[in-house]
Structure 1
């Protein structure tokens, strides 16, 4: 997301069933409060997500080279003077790296979105010659056949389907400033020649947050409608199986800011001619990074506010608005959050640490329950906001929780009831086990809590040696990559009855014998 422009409700029956399945027991000796009691067999079915719900973005600059966000060390811990000062050059990334492929494969199946700001300005060099030293006029970066093939090969190797957007800069516009498939046509043709395909595409990245001269001055909502019409007609002939997504607006969850980020998703959905979105997509960030706003300002957030209920609820508040628009303009279309993370401007300062694991999982679990079909975290690899570090390809803290989500949380979502203060509880059917249930319990308190369950359970308790540290412990043992870049075995410990939740812990509880009818 750029910052230059910044200055199905549950039925009554379902609610009653959820209340019966999740109750409170008398005070526990552990936390001093009521223990959450869960009857996993009676948790009601809520909805179903895409099987590739947990997905990721790889910024286009990883393919072409380009700009990325400066590290906080280089900024001296202070916000940059402006957006340009917060950026620095990035070299293209080697997507053939064994460790990167091994780590990504553990998150499969997934979607990979090759997107971001850089994608708007790509010149596709459709030949086998050495890469041009400079992009032609009207473009900023050059994408060679070899680099695009590497991107497609990477996706195939890790069981990912490809999502992308196309060039929309002045280099592809006609004399009336209309979009043309001057880059999209050879790009798609080359993709087909390799026997590869694109699963879904947006026209371009964030139409409400352009960087001129990327778009002509005065670019209007109706111009978007005309461009999307041209795009739709072209894709119907050139790649009819590709699903078209939009509008892809950039949205910030900061109170009072959304109203100035215009045009809105509704504006674009109402454009004439009317766009037809096969997938209703949007981008969302709850705050600005400390690169672009002081941490103690209303636009950003301090680490001691990471568990603030209003902050954690911001993604859900926005999804409910998007869901209403989807129902109005594209009934029954899937809703995809095609770019999101802890903060715009390259992520929160503590995003690589254990502290951000709570936000990461709470966002996914909330949105899965409330109508989202796929979520694309920005990013898979990055210096600060990636789940994998782009220089070392070592896992950042949230990566380990992403592996457990993929391992345990199936696409079938159950209703675990409302969240308690400091203890958020979510439930899905257990991956690969008929009738089984997986619970996600986030204990965001400085004291031990507990959840009471029936039957045998497997506990995957994630804790950190320190909240703002990268070391993650699974049931007390530090997680790390082993020989030949292999992931460690991530095994549960046996539990039953009252399952203790350590202070500041992320807990996946597998209940394979729950015998929940919705999971059979």
Structure 2
């Protein structure tokens, strides 16, 4: 596989221009078609990484939906991690993941030696980290009912205690949810552990009332169902619970959210679309996101119309990301596209799995060096405003999205060239072009990128747009490049 990948890549170096082709990009109107949250681009730290559970790094496969290697707890006090998180702020920080449902808060029961525990010190560190870095906490509370006779009888004791502690210490929880991927419990705990939609709705009603009472400023999200490429929620009627859940719940949700990975890594026991170089560079492979989001939006509109839509968890490939692919430049194309596509389709927030930990991380856990997706995220945060504008491309290999700029009277056009050809771009209706930022790499499988030909680096703890050379004012984008063009009216 490695040999064939290298051969494939040798023919497709993004720095080499091939026959130029033209593309027309049209801004249809300057009136927004959607608006995202100020913390739209957000990210997670998996509970397993945070407290030292089973994780993907070093795992060659999976067991009951988890990695096979025990990891060391994450140190949230490192100043370098602060610097990296601040560069992507403001954002939501989601603490969740598969082990969120079998963790204990502050202390393990006497009859469970070796149980996974979120200590009081770690909980305090999470809140300190959020405060330092302008992050709003989104937390996954434990559901933890794996016996069928208990479904519909969820007890709020542990959740109530943690909420009461946070209220006493003035710790803000911006968003919370009950359980992680409740429609996929069969994969983690067996078929008999899978809650049916109506009983899950009863438990969720109890959870919402508990949160409203003890933390009234906290928003509640749900159900956070997992969707798979090509098959959606899958396994009817066992795991296709979202529409029935939303119909059965009596309390109001603030957020209807879902989880989606466009590809599966080699660790995943089930692969409906494998994470390969050819797949991640296929524009057609990106379409399922909007297809299943459309389903979710219809269910939301019918049953919880007041709720915002979030992608509560997403990454390039399930089960920790694909080794030597998810942390490379080739993976940045799906991420840039999903950010643009999600905003255009009405998503208010996109939560990336993960800030740190796993092959799909924005930051390498061992070196604390940014991966390519970090720099795409950083440019998005700097350049793409909250208002979404309608824009069209006449070339299927050139994906385009447009937002208001972060300064009044400006807009930013995101151009994703997923072809091996350079493209001469004719922009219509945009006004005067001000600046261009072009993300490229020597090879698609490189883990370092260049912005305007220069390798991005932190200087004095910061990185600034003005640090990068200005590009010549020509209307062309390179093969396999991600481009941010800034316009002013």
Question: TM bucket by the smaller chain?
Answer: 0.7 to 0.9
Equivalence for 2:127: 152
Q: How much is the aligned-residue C-alpha RMSD, in angstroms? A: 2.9
Alignment of 1:87-98 (within 5 A): 87-98=68-79
| Structure 2 partner of 1:393 | 368
Matches within 5 A, 1:208-287: 208-210=183-185, 217=193, 219-255=195-231, 258-260=234-236, 262-271=239-248, 274-287=250-263
Find the residue that maps to 1:379 and give its secondary structure: coil
Work out whether 1:123 is the aligned partner of 2:130.
no
* Pair 1:181-2:169 in alignment: no
Q: How many Å separate the matches in 2 of 1:268 and 1:59?
A: 25
Report if the CA contact (8 A) 1:456-1:495 is conserved. no
Distance of aligned partners of 1:381 and 1:175 in 2 relative to their CA distance in 1, 3 Å threshold:
closer
Partner Cα distance (1:62, 1:214) in 2 = 24
Unmatched runs of 5 consecutive residues or more in structure 1? 1-28, 126-130, 515-520
Q: After TM superposition, give the deviation of residue 32 of structure 1 in Å.
A: 3.9
Per-residue deviation at 1:118?
1.5
Question: RCO higher in 1 or 2 (8 Å CA, sep ≥ 6)?
Answer: 2
> Could you tell me which of 448, 457, 465 is aligned with 2:442?
465
1:68 aligned residue (46, 55, 58):
55
From 32, 36, 40, give the equivalent of 1:45. Answer: 32
- What is the deviation of 1:490? 5.2
For 2:110 and 2:282, the matched residues in 1 are separated by 45
Deviation track 1:83-112 (CA, whole Å, cap 9, x = no partner) reads 578521111101111111111111111101
Match of 1:415 in 2: 390
Change (3 A) 1:467 1:206: same
Alpha-carbon deviation of 1:150?
Answer: 0.2
Using structure 1 for the length normalisation, give the TM-score.
0.83
With structure 2 as the length reference, what TM-score do the two structures score? 0.88
Q: Which runs of 5+ in 2 are unaligned?
A: 1-16
Is the 1:43–1:416 Cα contact (8 Å) retained in structure 2? no
- CA distance in 2: counterparts of 1:226 and 1:291, whole angstroms: 35
Per the TM alignment, residue 293 of structure 1 is displaced from its structure 2 partner at its CA by 5.2
The aligned counterpart of 1:14 is none
| Superposition deviation, residue 336 in structure 1 | 0.8
Picking from 328, 348, 359, the partner of 2:302 is 328
> Where does residue 44 of structure 2 map in the other structure?
57
Which residue is equivalent to 2:484?
Answer: 508
Judge conservation of contact 2:264–2:319 (CA < 8 Å) in 1. yes
Contact 1:247 1:282 in 2 (8 A): yes
Given that residues 440 and 508 in structure 1 are in contact (C-alpha distance below 8 angstroms), is that contact kept between their aligned partners in structure 2?
yes
- 2:8 maps to which residue? none
Q: CA deviation at 1:81?
A: 7.3
Distance 1:147 1:180 in 2: 24
> 1:106-143: CA deviations, max 9, x gaps?
11111011101111122112xxxxx76x8754994111
CA distance, structure 2, for counterparts of residue 171 and residue 139 of structure 1: 19
1:155-170 superposed matches below 5 A: 155-170=130-145
